[in-house]
């Protein structure tokens, strides 16, 4: 077992678009195994190669719970070919320790990918953690980060500041967030009270 060093924000490798894998040899198998070991060691459910400094289109996911038998899935060159619906939920990222906030994602995704033998497979995930993890990890392969998909940018800024990833006044951000919540409540109330034509 070898553990890899996780790259943290703002490491440049996290913003790069990763390259397609064309040769399915033992080095790819070793990378996948090392990434799984690293993911389990850090209590993650997903890890993309750029997060360990390798700019290649490979990611690993295991959403089985602690008590269950591990069910690792290795995705090579994954591509979402269908998406449907919407879901909002808390997300974290191994490249941003201690940062969690709500992110909106498609509910259902159909993903086409290759396995370690280079065979093409298709997988459907709907309304669950697997669906969320697939979308989060594919974003990593495109150099996209979850901080840019926050439901509330202010909340993301607050969590990033608290965790020390950016400079800022935590108290000030908390006040602004309260105002944002109030404004949201008011606008929801107004919408609910508006007469509707059916």
Which amino acids are annotated catalytic? 137
Residue span binding Zn ion (CB under 5 A) among the ranges 30-38, 52-60, 62-70, 90-98: 90-98
- Is residue 93 within the footprint of Zn ion (CB under 5 A)? yes
Cβ 158 vs Cβ 170: under 8 Å: yes
**Least spacing, CB of residue 153 vs Zn ion, in Å:** 18
Using Cβ positions, the residue closest to Zn ion within the complex turns out to be 93
Q: How far is Cα 191 from Cα 174, in angstroms, rounded to an integer?
A: 26
Residue span binding Zn ion (CB under 5 A) among the ranges 6-14, 85-93, 149-157, 181-189: 85-93
Residue span binding Zn ion (CB under 5 A) among the ranges 30-38, 75-83, 93-101, 147-155: 93-101
**Least spacing, CB of residue 186 vs Zn ion, in Å:** 34
Q: How far is Cα 141 from Cα 126, in angstroms, rounded to an integer?
A: 21
- Nearer Cβ to Zn ion, position 52 or 93? 93
Q: How far is Cα 16 from Cα 24, in angstroms, rounded to an integer?
A: 22
- Nearer Cβ to Zn ion, position 36 or 93? 93
**Least spacing, CB of residue 7 vs Zn ion, in Å:** 10
Angle at 103 between CA 97 and CA 107, to 5 degrees: 125
- Is residue 35 within the footprint of Zn ion (CB under 5 A)? no
User: Residue 166 carries which DSSP code?
Assistant: S
Residues in the interface with Zn ion (CB under 5 A) total 1
What are the respective helix, strand and coil percentages of the chain, to the nearest 5? Answer: 40, 25, 40
Residues in the chain, how many? 198
The residue behind tokens 């913003």 is 15
- Nearer Cβ to Zn ion, position 93 or 173? 93
**Least spacing, CB of residue 39 vs Zn ion, in Å:** 11
Helical spans, DSSP H, in 6-151: 26-41, 129-141
Which stretches of the chain bind Zn ion, using CB under 5 A?
93
């Amino acid at each position: 077992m070898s553990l890899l060093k996780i790259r943290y924000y703002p490491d440049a490798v996290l913003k790069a678009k990763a390259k397609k894998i064309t040769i399915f040899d033992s080095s790819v198998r070793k990378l996948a195994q090392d990434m799984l070991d690293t993911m389990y060691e850090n209590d993650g459910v997903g890890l993309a190669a750029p997060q360990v400094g390798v700019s290649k289109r490979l990611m690993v996911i295991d959403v089985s719970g602690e008590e269950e038998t591990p069910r690792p899935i290795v995705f090579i060159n994954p591509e979402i070919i269908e998406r449907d619906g919407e879901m909002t939920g808390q997300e974290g990222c191994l490249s941003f320790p201690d940062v969690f906030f709500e992110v909106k994602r498609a509910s259902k995704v159909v993903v086409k990918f290759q396995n370690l033998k280079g065979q093409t497979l298709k997988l459907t995930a709907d309304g669950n953690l697997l669906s969320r993890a697939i979308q989060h990890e594919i974003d990593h392969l495109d150099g996209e980060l979850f901080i840019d998909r926050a439901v509330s940018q202010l909340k993301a800024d607050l969590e990033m500041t608290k965790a020390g990833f950016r400079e800022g006044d935590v108290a000030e951000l908390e006040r602004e967030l309260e105002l944002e919540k109030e404004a949201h409540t008011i606008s929801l109330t107004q919408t609910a009270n508006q007469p509707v034509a059916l």
